[in-house]
Structure 1
């Protein structure tokens, strides 16, 4: 015989609870589901924040800089780096370059708090309609977050990564002033061909100091941010020209430059410097510089390649050049004499 569970067998307290459950089963079911969802949300939130860069790391920005080795007569003979970057402060960056970057990458930079909510929702809607990642919505601060913490914020297009990026961007905005964020961005970003930061990019592409860049050169460097490889003026000059002119058009549209400046700049061809060949010119006394590198690595360790040190050596580049020239001139004659001596035996 099937036994029925009777509330009379329970204590008064549990009996009342069971009666309430029988009377309002849906209410308690909903409450249970809400509880489970809440627990799941808390667990997911803990998972998200566990992947964020620590606050101490956000507060201490240490970019990887080039270590330079000079001769005794102040000639640069070697550079050591993992990323070719030289830091430049905000007040030394040309205004045209700042504006070119802002109108291209983040027009509301000075107004938002790290995230452009309207732009973010618009991009999400476009992606949802097309069922693909088509629209970019990252602010300069979000881009900086990805650049500074690649191990924490990968470039995978996932919802979790995006949340972490947004939280990190907000933390960066709370930690630094807007000018500092733009300064870090322009000193951190990759500009193609092994160059990081605006100073190294200006030197590489135009063989110029940043302060000497023209309007069209500023626009070209801003154009590279979208895709350094895709718009490389060395490998894809026509695409680079088209992208540069688009940046100039945005500058004109947003009132940064006049129509005359726009027309003059767009009709100016891209003229590159000899930056791409600088490394071969610096390759003076390779055995000596390798010896110096080994000695320095014993002292500084791997920090040698990221610390941005300036090293002066005892080598005189003029004497070294004269010695190398003498060897090059004398060596063929010596080889000829040796060959003649061997054949005469």
Structure 2
């Protein structure tokens, strides 16, 4: 057989095999064509899961959860520079090939052969249509069978849909990294605005991401993303999509890239806020944007202050609530990556003397005044005999001084007279959601509560005794702009009369100016209270200034003692560190209380002076002394002279009732005021119980924590 005949037979069989191959391919394409969904079905497929994008108070993105889909853009809505950039870098013969690019495949094989990779290089050649087929219908597995199926589906897509429809599908469904699917999601994620507003430079960055979203992510490596954008821009010039003059006007280095704010620090807030969606909107699978109240700067300052001041291996938490109830910062621990346990909203801890807020609110509501005299003396309730941590009794002192010193016996007497159940009800009235058991030692803060509830209670005092629940979500919007929810302020609820809140603020300001909370003083009107529990297991400081209320807790998760932890030290300093920045640009606001408060130099109470702990001087420095020994300066224990107080506070008489109409007499209860007398003859109000309340005794009776 001659060579010519052999060649003829090879050609004949080759043609026959080619014909069979074309027939088989045609059948495969026809079957694929018949199985393809309609274009509308492809547009609305939600098989990648719901996207939730959480935004801060300034609308910046805090975190994106799940795949992120932006608004679907019709072909006409997609900026021309975006379409041109993508075609230039991904598939410059897109408009001419049938779904696969024979020229591109041949070129890929040739390059691979020259590089010694065999025919493997052809696998890296995918047209835009093939990428649509892979992204929507196939897995990302790299093998010959999957590549063949990809080609078949691409050919079928080209038969069923127009080039414009395929490019529209591609630009709305391709993955660009950072959880973003589609150009609108990518534009919002990386530039902070919709894709319809995209510039040429931004389009080159997004087009450059498809090749390797992780390597060129603008948020992870901005320089790599800008470098890749330069390659895309060169391709657009080379293939005639833009002129050299237009390209010269684009400087990738000047393209502003939006970085998500908050990061790790914001996750505690997000974990608390998102479950609230269940009660705010109906269940939906649509992509949504959740606009929150979180201030990114405050959140970072809060995280910094907790990490800077929490002792050693102890944990810390912080909540900041604005005057309208908006939660501006929420830190549930030092590091979310290390521990997702939210100590601000989930953990229940004993509040120590910070709970005395409710004790004194009850006393004020029942008619006592800050400058009324009470007697610090031994008291026994059932089998419980509370003592002051310095093991001394001050005798006749004002209610204000008793609060500033956090005198335990006075709190116990108030509870005995007013009723422990009444104080528990006051705590619940002000927002403490957990059950408060009304046993006697509860007045010293032995019930367990949440930081966010305690902060809410103090915020209610700061608002003049008016309750507004804390909230985290401002509005919820779908990707196509439909409003699903918008926050409406709750109807204000009056918890106590205004004069009660004013007097309580008077006491709280004393606690900062001259009591255990001096380390929290901001140099502007500041009110607050410390709290320390037995053996320094918990340290609290909660206070407010210029319309912002902040609560701080520190301690160990396993309830072990923390050496040196007291409410007036690390928590108060963290409060001051955070608040000094948070209210720096707010107007200085004076409290609605009568006159200025005296700057007493009081010794610390149980918050800062416990058995075995050092006494601190007014500057927070330890003083070498035996806490069981009498204080060297007896004058420090003396009650404040009322004549001197009248002069300093400019008190010329009784305050007017803020609720009374002009000409009316005050309606609030007024205990009789007596002129100041020498110490031995001073009139004193003793808080006497009407009858000893029946209380449990024995081993089950909770023991007070100092």
TM interval, shorter chain, is 0.5 to 0.7
Q: Return the offset for 1:288.
A: 5.3
- Aligned match for 2:121, one of 106, 112, 134: 134
Counterpart-to-counterpart distance in 2, 1:164 and 1:79: 37
Counterpart-to-counterpart distance in 2, 1:244 and 1:287: 39
Q: How does 1:145-156 map to 2 (within 5 A)?
A: 145-151=133-139, 154-156=140-142
3-state DSSP of counterpart to 1:336: strand
Counterpart-to-counterpart distance in 2, 1:261 and 1:292: 47
Asked if residue 308 in structure 1 is aligned to residue 287 in structure 2, the reply is yes
- Kindly tell me the number of residue pairs found equivalent between the two proteins: 296
Equivalence for 2:565: none
3-state DSSP of counterpart to 2:250: helix
TM-score calculated relative to the size of structure 1: 0.67
Asked if residue 321 in structure 1 is aligned to residue 327 in structure 2, the reply is yes
Q: Return the offset for 1:175.
A: 2.4
Equivalence for 2:210: 225
Equivalence for 1:195: 180
Give CA deviations for 1:60-95 in whole Å, capped at 9, x if unaligned.
211446455999x9x899988531112322222211
Counterpart-to-counterpart distance in 2, 1:170 and 1:282: 45
Counterpart-to-counterpart distance in 2, 1:329 and 1:270: 46
Q: Return the offset for 1:279.
A: 9.7
Distance change (3 Å), C-alpha of 1:121 and 1:325:
farther
Equivalence for 1:101: 86
- Aligned match for 2:132, one of 137, 144, 166: 144
- Aligned match for 2:72, one of 77, 88, 109: 88
Equivalence for 2:108: 123
Q: Return the offset for 1:247.
A: 0.7
Counterpart-to-counterpart distance in 2, 1:77 and 1:264: 29
3-state DSSP of counterpart to 2:229: helix
3-state DSSP of counterpart to 1:87: coil
Distance change (3 Å), C-alpha of 1:256 and 1:65:
farther
Counterpart-to-counterpart distance in 2, 1:166 and 1:334: 71
Task: Report which stretch shifted further, 78-87 or 224-233.
Answer: 78-87
Q: How does 1:1-345 map to 2 (within 5 A)?
A: 55-57=35-37, 60-61=41-42, 62-63=45-46, 64=48, 66=50, 82-89=66-73, 90-128=75-113, 130=116, 131=118, 133-135=120-122, 136-151=124-139, 154-158=140-144, 160-266=145-251, 268-275=253-260, 277=262, 286-287=271-272, 289-293=274-278, 304=284, 306-308=285-287, 319-321=325-327, 327=455, 330=458, 333=528, 336=531, 340=606, 345=706
Give CA deviations for 1:98-146 in whole Å, capped at 9, x if unaligned.
1000011111212222111222233234335532533532110001111
Q: Return the offset for 1:325.
A: 11
Q: Return the offset for 1:282.
A: 9.5
Distance change (3 Å), C-alpha of 1:78 and 1:250:
closer
Counterpart-to-counterpart distance in 2, 1:325 and 1:212: 44
Q: Is the contact between residue 237 and residue 243 of structure 2 (CA under 8 Å) also seen in structure 1?
A: yes
Greater per-residue strand proportion: 2
Q: Is the contact between residue 68 and residue 311 of structure 1 (CA under 8 Å) also seen in structure 2?
A: yes
Greater per-residue helix proportion: 1
Q: Return the offset for 1:185.
A: 0.8
Q: Return the offset for 1:189.
A: 1.2
Equivalence for 1:13: none
Q: Is the contact between residue 223 and residue 240 of structure 1 (CA under 8 Å) also seen in structure 2?
A: yes
Distance change (3 Å), C-alpha of 1:82 and 1:241:
closer
Q: Return the offset for 1:155.
A: 3.0
Q: Return the offset for 1:275.
A: 3.8
3-state DSSP of counterpart to 1:156: coil
3-state DSSP of counterpart to 2:176: strand
Q: Return the offset for 1:174.
A: 2.2
Q: Return the offset for 1:183.
A: 1.4
Give CA deviations for 1:24-50 in whole Å, capped at 9, x if unaligned.
xxxxxxxxxx9xx9xxx9xx98xx89x
Q: Is the contact between residue 105 and residue 125 of structure 2 (CA under 8 Å) also seen in structure 1?
A: yes
Q: Is the contact between residue 66 and residue 308 of structure 1 (CA under 8 Å) also seen in structure 2?
A: yes
Quick check: which has more Rg, 1 or 2?
A: 2
Where does structure 1 lack aligned partners over 5 or more consecutive residues?
1-33
Task: Give the root-mean-square deviation of aligned CA atoms.
Answer: 4.7
Distance change (3 Å), C-alpha of 1:236 and 1:169:
same
TM-score calculated relative to the size of structure 2: 0.35
Q: Return the offset for 1:243.
A: 1.4
Q: Return the offset for 1:281.
A: 6.8
Q: Return the offset for 1:164.
A: 0.6
